[in-house]
Amino acid sequence: MSHDLSADLTTDAAACEASPAPGVPDASRIGLIVPSSNTTMETELPELFRRQTEATGHRYTFHSARAAMKQVTKEELAAMVGKAADCAAAVSDADVDVIAYACLVAVMAQGPGAHKESEQVIGEAARANGHPAAVVSSAGALVRSLTAIGVHRVAMVTPYMAPLTQLVREYVEGEGVEVVDAVALEVPDNLAVGRLDPAGLPEIARGLQREGAEAIVLSACVQMPSLAAVQRVEDELGLPVVTAATATTYEVLKALGHTPSIPGAGALLTGALG
Protein backbone atom coordinates (compact mmCIF):
# COMPACT_ATOMS: atom_id res chain seq x y z
CA MET A 1 0.00 0.00 0.00
CA SER A 2 1.46 3.37 -1.03
CA HIS A 3 1.71 6.26 1.40
CA ASP A 4 1.69 9.92 0.32
CA LEU A 5 4.55 11.41 2.38
CA SER A 6 4.13 14.84 0.73
CA ALA A 7 0.53 15.02 1.97
CA ASP A 8 1.69 14.27 5.51
CA LEU A 9 4.32 16.99 5.31
CA THR A 10 1.80 19.50 3.98
CA THR A 11 -0.62 18.67 6.80
CA ASP A 12 2.13 18.94 9.41
CA ALA A 13 3.29 22.26 8.00
CA ALA A 14 -0.24 23.67 8.06
CA ALA A 15 -0.71 22.55 11.66
CA CYS A 16 2.64 24.09 12.60
CA GLU A 17 1.63 27.45 11.11
CA ALA A 18 -1.82 27.35 12.69
CA SER A 19 -0.71 26.93 16.30
CA PRO A 20 2.35 28.22 18.15
CA ALA A 21 4.49 25.96 20.26
CA PRO A 22 2.93 25.24 23.65
CA GLY A 23 4.01 27.37 26.58
CA VAL A 24 7.02 26.35 28.60
CA PRO A 25 6.71 26.05 32.38
CA ASP A 26 8.50 28.84 34.27
CA ALA A 27 8.62 30.98 31.12
CA SER A 28 6.58 33.87 29.75
CA ARG A 29 6.18 35.23 26.24
CA ILE A 30 6.21 39.00 25.81
CA GLY A 31 4.91 40.55 22.60
CA LEU A 32 6.27 43.92 21.49
CA ILE A 33 4.76 46.38 19.04
CA VAL A 34 7.49 48.82 18.05
CA PRO A 35 8.15 51.46 15.39
CA SER A 36 9.95 50.02 12.37
CA SER A 37 12.95 52.25 13.11
CA ASN A 38 13.20 51.29 16.78
CA THR A 39 16.59 49.91 17.80
CA THR A 40 16.45 50.33 21.58
CA MET A 41 13.37 48.69 23.09
CA GLU A 42 14.43 45.27 21.82
CA THR A 43 17.79 45.66 23.56
CA GLU A 44 16.88 47.38 26.85
CA LEU A 45 13.85 45.24 27.71
CA PRO A 46 15.58 41.88 27.13
CA GLU A 47 18.48 43.09 29.30
CA LEU A 48 16.12 44.10 32.09
CA PHE A 49 14.30 40.78 31.94
CA ARG A 50 17.63 38.92 31.82
CA ARG A 51 18.37 40.47 35.22
CA GLN A 52 14.91 39.46 36.43
CA THR A 53 15.62 35.90 35.30
CA GLU A 54 18.94 35.88 37.16
CA ALA A 55 17.13 36.93 40.33
CA THR A 56 14.06 34.68 40.05
CA GLY A 57 14.80 31.85 37.61
CA HIS A 58 11.73 32.67 35.52
CA ARG A 59 12.49 33.03 31.81
CA TYR A 60 11.11 35.50 29.27
CA THR A 61 11.11 35.50 25.48
CA PHE A 62 10.30 38.41 23.15
CA HIS A 63 8.26 38.43 19.95
CA SER A 64 7.92 41.62 17.92
CA ALA A 65 5.69 43.25 15.33
CA ARG A 66 6.77 46.47 13.61
CA ALA A 67 4.78 49.44 12.32
CA ALA A 68 6.32 51.90 9.86
CA MET A 69 7.69 55.06 11.45
CA LYS A 70 10.94 56.86 10.58
CA GLN A 71 10.47 60.54 11.42
CA VAL A 72 8.97 61.55 14.76
CA THR A 73 6.20 63.71 13.31
CA LYS A 74 2.54 63.84 14.24
CA GLU A 75 1.60 62.49 10.80
CA GLU A 76 3.86 59.42 11.01
CA LEU A 77 2.91 58.84 14.63
CA ALA A 78 -0.79 58.86 13.75
CA ALA A 79 -0.17 56.42 10.90
CA MET A 80 1.65 54.08 13.27
CA VAL A 81 -1.22 54.14 15.75
CA GLY A 82 -3.55 53.21 12.90
CA LYS A 83 -1.60 49.95 12.46
CA ALA A 84 -1.82 48.93 16.13
CA ALA A 85 -4.64 46.43 15.68
CA ASP A 86 -2.95 44.65 12.77
CA CYS A 87 0.32 44.47 14.72
CA ALA A 88 -1.51 43.14 17.77
CA ALA A 89 -3.12 40.37 15.75
CA ALA A 90 0.23 39.45 14.21
CA VAL A 91 2.16 39.31 17.47
CA SER A 92 -0.66 37.46 19.23
CA ASP A 93 -0.14 34.59 16.77
CA ALA A 94 2.81 33.70 19.02
CA ASP A 95 0.31 33.15 21.89
CA VAL A 96 2.06 35.77 24.01
CA ASP A 97 1.11 36.36 27.64
CA VAL A 98 1.31 40.15 27.46
CA ILE A 99 1.63 42.72 24.66
CA ALA A 100 3.64 45.90 25.19
CA TYR A 101 2.83 48.75 22.82
CA ALA A 102 6.22 50.42 22.78
CA CYS A 103 5.93 53.90 21.33
CA LEU A 104 5.12 56.44 23.99
CA VAL A 105 4.83 59.59 21.89
CA ALA A 106 2.78 57.93 19.14
CA VAL A 107 0.04 57.35 21.66
CA MET A 108 0.36 60.65 23.53
CA ALA A 109 0.19 62.57 20.24
CA GLN A 110 -3.37 61.31 19.80
CA GLY A 111 -4.67 63.41 22.69
CA PRO A 112 -5.53 63.15 26.40
CA GLY A 113 -6.08 59.64 27.73
CA ALA A 114 -5.22 58.03 24.38
CA HIS A 115 -3.33 55.18 26.05
CA LYS A 116 -6.59 53.76 27.35
CA GLU A 117 -8.09 53.57 23.85
CA SER A 118 -4.89 52.14 22.35
CA GLU A 119 -4.68 49.42 24.99
CA GLN A 120 -8.34 48.55 24.39
CA VAL A 121 -7.87 48.35 20.60
CA ILE A 122 -4.83 46.09 20.99
CA GLY A 123 -6.56 43.86 23.53
CA GLU A 124 -9.63 43.47 21.33
CA ALA A 125 -7.50 42.62 18.28
CA ALA A 126 -5.65 39.90 20.20
CA ARG A 127 -8.91 38.43 21.51
CA ALA A 128 -10.49 38.49 18.05
CA ASN A 129 -7.46 36.59 16.78
CA GLY A 130 -8.07 33.85 19.33
CA HIS A 131 -5.10 34.68 21.58
CA PRO A 132 -6.16 37.08 24.33
CA ALA A 133 -3.31 38.76 26.22
CA ALA A 134 -2.78 41.45 28.83
CA VAL A 135 -1.86 44.80 27.25
CA VAL A 136 0.52 47.51 28.41
CA SER A 137 1.40 50.70 26.54
CA SER A 138 4.55 52.67 27.26
CA ALA A 139 2.44 55.83 27.51
CA GLY A 140 0.09 54.30 30.05
CA ALA A 141 2.92 52.58 31.89
CA LEU A 142 4.81 55.82 32.43
CA VAL A 143 1.92 57.75 33.95
CA ARG A 144 0.57 54.79 35.92
CA SER A 145 3.99 53.90 37.32
CA LEU A 146 4.55 57.44 38.54
CA THR A 147 1.15 57.43 40.19
CA ALA A 148 1.75 53.98 41.69
CA ILE A 149 4.86 55.17 43.52
CA GLY A 150 3.16 58.34 44.76
CA VAL A 151 4.93 60.82 42.47
CA HIS A 152 3.07 64.07 41.69
CA ARG A 153 5.89 66.23 40.27
CA VAL A 154 8.68 65.25 37.86
CA ALA A 155 11.49 66.71 35.78
CA MET A 156 11.76 65.14 32.33
CA VAL A 157 14.16 64.55 29.42
CA THR A 158 12.87 63.83 25.91
CA PRO A 159 14.60 63.47 22.52
CA TYR A 160 11.69 65.10 20.70
CA MET A 161 11.32 68.45 19.01
CA ALA A 162 10.01 71.17 21.32
CA PRO A 163 6.35 71.00 20.15
CA LEU A 164 6.16 67.24 20.74
CA THR A 165 7.91 67.62 24.07
CA GLN A 166 5.26 70.15 25.07
CA LEU A 167 2.58 67.70 23.97
CA VAL A 168 4.11 64.97 26.15
CA ARG A 169 4.35 67.40 29.04
CA GLU A 170 0.67 68.30 28.73
CA TYR A 171 -0.31 64.64 28.44
CA VAL A 172 1.53 63.71 31.62
CA GLU A 173 0.06 66.68 33.44
CA GLY A 174 -3.39 65.68 32.21
CA GLU A 175 -2.86 62.42 34.09
CA GLY A 176 -2.23 64.30 37.34
CA VAL A 177 1.59 64.54 37.36
CA GLU A 178 3.06 68.05 37.19
CA VAL A 179 6.15 68.47 35.00
CA VAL A 180 8.35 71.07 36.69
CA ASP A 181 10.91 71.04 33.86
CA ALA A 182 11.25 69.31 30.49
CA VAL A 183 14.35 69.26 28.29
CA ALA A 184 13.86 68.65 24.56
CA LEU A 185 16.94 67.31 22.75
CA GLU A 186 15.22 68.03 19.39
CA VAL A 187 16.23 64.96 17.37
CA PRO A 188 13.55 64.35 14.69
CA ASP A 189 15.02 61.21 13.06
CA ASN A 190 14.12 58.10 15.05
CA LEU A 191 17.27 56.19 14.07
CA ALA A 192 19.35 59.14 15.26
CA VAL A 193 17.47 59.05 18.57
CA GLY A 194 18.59 55.43 18.98
CA ARG A 195 22.22 56.51 18.51
CA LEU A 196 22.18 59.05 21.35
CA ASP A 197 24.81 58.22 23.95
CA PRO A 198 23.31 57.53 27.39
CA ALA A 199 26.64 58.63 28.89
CA GLY A 200 25.48 62.18 28.28
CA LEU A 201 22.31 61.81 30.33
CA PRO A 202 23.81 62.44 33.80
CA GLU A 203 24.98 65.88 32.75
CA ILE A 204 21.60 66.65 31.18
CA ALA A 205 19.86 65.49 34.36
CA ARG A 206 22.07 67.74 36.49
CA GLY A 207 20.89 70.67 34.41
CA LEU A 208 17.20 70.02 35.02
CA GLN A 209 15.29 72.39 37.25
CA ARG A 210 14.52 69.90 40.00
CA GLU A 211 13.08 72.05 42.78
CA GLY A 212 9.89 70.35 43.93
CA ALA A 213 10.46 67.32 41.71
CA GLU A 214 9.82 63.95 43.32
CA ALA A 215 11.27 61.88 40.46
CA ILE A 216 13.14 62.22 37.18
CA VAL A 217 11.87 60.83 33.89
CA LEU A 218 15.27 60.31 32.31
CA SER A 219 13.91 59.19 28.93
CA ALA A 220 10.31 59.84 27.98
CA CYS A 221 10.89 57.75 24.87
CA VAL A 222 11.38 54.03 24.29
CA GLN A 223 13.93 54.73 21.55
CA MET A 224 16.29 56.99 23.52
CA PRO A 225 18.90 54.75 25.22
CA SER A 226 19.01 55.37 28.95
CA LEU A 227 19.43 52.10 30.85
CA ALA A 228 23.17 52.58 31.36
CA ALA A 229 22.54 55.91 33.12
CA VAL A 230 19.48 55.18 35.27
CA GLN A 231 21.17 53.93 38.43
CA ARG A 232 23.97 56.49 38.21
CA VAL A 233 21.55 59.42 37.98
CA GLU A 234 19.34 58.03 40.74
CA ASP A 235 22.32 57.58 43.07
CA GLU A 236 23.80 60.98 42.26
CA LEU A 237 20.67 63.10 42.48
CA GLY A 238 18.85 61.19 45.21
CA LEU A 239 15.54 61.01 43.35
CA PRO A 240 13.79 57.98 41.85
CA VAL A 241 14.58 57.71 38.13
CA VAL A 242 12.00 56.27 35.75
CA THR A 243 12.19 55.84 31.97
CA ALA A 244 9.70 54.72 29.35
CA ALA A 245 11.52 51.37 29.27
CA THR A 246 11.68 50.81 33.04
CA ALA A 247 8.03 51.83 33.45
CA THR A 248 7.01 49.43 30.68
CA THR A 249 9.03 46.65 32.30
CA TYR A 250 7.40 47.38 35.66
CA GLU A 251 3.91 47.12 34.19
CA VAL A 252 4.68 44.00 32.14
CA LEU A 253 5.86 42.29 35.32
CA LYS A 254 2.71 43.43 37.15
CA ALA A 255 0.54 42.12 34.30
CA LEU A 256 2.27 38.75 34.62
CA GLY A 257 1.84 38.76 38.40
CA HIS A 258 5.60 38.89 38.97
CA THR A 259 7.41 40.93 41.63
CA PRO A 260 10.13 43.20 40.17
CA SER A 261 13.59 41.99 41.24
CA ILE A 262 15.87 43.86 38.84
CA PRO A 263 19.09 45.42 40.13
CA GLY A 264 20.95 48.39 38.70
CA ALA A 265 17.98 50.01 36.95
CA GLY A 266 16.47 52.24 39.60
CA ALA A 267 14.40 51.65 42.71
CA LEU A 268 11.19 51.16 40.71
CA LEU A 269 12.42 47.82 39.41
CA THR A 270 13.78 46.56 42.72
CA GLY A 271 10.24 46.47 44.03
CA ALA A 272 11.14 48.97 46.75
CA LEU A 273 8.75 51.69 45.58
CA GLY A 274 5.68 49.79 44.45
What is the rounded distance in angstroms from the CA atom of residue 189 to the CA atom of residue 69?
A: 10
Query: Which residues contact residue 18 at a Cβ distance below 8 angstroms, ignoring those fewer than 6 apart?
Result: none
Q: Which of 33, 84, 98, 103 is catalytic?
A: 103
Is residue 16 part of the annotated active site? The answer reads no
Say if CB 152 and CB 240 are below 8 A apart: no
| 190 annotated as a binding-site residue | yes
Per the annotation, does 233 bind a ligand? no
Any binding-site annotation on 222?
Answer: yes
16 marked as part of a ligand binding site: no
Q: Is 129 annotated as a binding residue?
A: no
Helix axes 227-237, 244-256, angle to 10 degrees: 100
Of the candidates 214, 269, 261, the one whose C-alpha atom is nearest the C-alpha of residue 245 is 269
Mapping DSSP to helix (H, G, I), strand (E, B) and coil, where does residue 101 land?
strand
In DSSP terms, 98 is beta-bridged to 30, 134
Report whether 171 belongs to an annotated binding site. Answer: no
For residue 103, indicate whether it is catalytic.
Answer: yes
> Nearest 5°: phi and psi at 148?
-65, -30
103 is in an annotated binding site: yes
Q: Determine the Cα angle at 20 with ends 17 and 24, to 5°.
A: 155
Q: How far apart are CA 8 and CA 118, in angstroms?
A: 42
Pick the catalytic residue: 185, 221, 230, 239? 221
Residues marked as binding for substrate? 38, 103-105, 160, 190, 222-223
Residues tagged active-site? 103, 221
Residues marked as binding? 38, 103-105, 160, 190, 222-223
